[in-house]
Amino acid sequence: MIRSDSIRGHLDPIVLRLICEEDRYGYELSKEISLRTDHRFQIKEATLYSVFQRLEKKELIESYLGEISQGGKRKYYRITGQGKAYLREMVKEWKEVKSVIDLFMDGFMRERENN
């Protein structure tokens, strides 16, 4: 299980990435995160909805009500043009950060294997 602290700063781009693929509602998105991580990371509902609120406030996503299902209308989220531009920047930044961290962590693992 991945500690939520380790991934917390990356929730916005993760959510944006999934919404970029297709419009989604909260429960569907949380299940997709769990499935894609082979259940190693599960986002809490309260955390997910605070991410939605933050992204909507920044106008990176927008919400709309979908068709009635199981007694009510689901609230769906879709990415905006501004959200797509922000996601592209986050992907570039992540690649840079990952390459720097890999420089240090990969060497540590090789050292441990040799000792």
Domains of the chain: 4-114 (1.10.10.10)
Is residue 40 within 8 Å of residue 114, measured between CB atoms? no
| CA–CA dist 63, 24 (Å, integer) | 9
Count of CA atoms in the C-beta half-sphere (13 A) of 79: 19
CB atoms within 10 A of CB 27: 11
Does the pLDDT at position 68 exceed 80? no
Is residue 61 within 8 Å of residue 79, measured between CB atoms? yes
- Residue 114's pLDDT band, with cuts at 50, 70 and 90, is low
AA letter at 104: F
**Mean pLDDT taken over the chain:** 89
| CA–CA dist 107, 100 (Å, integer) | 12
Provide the pLDDT for residue 113. 65
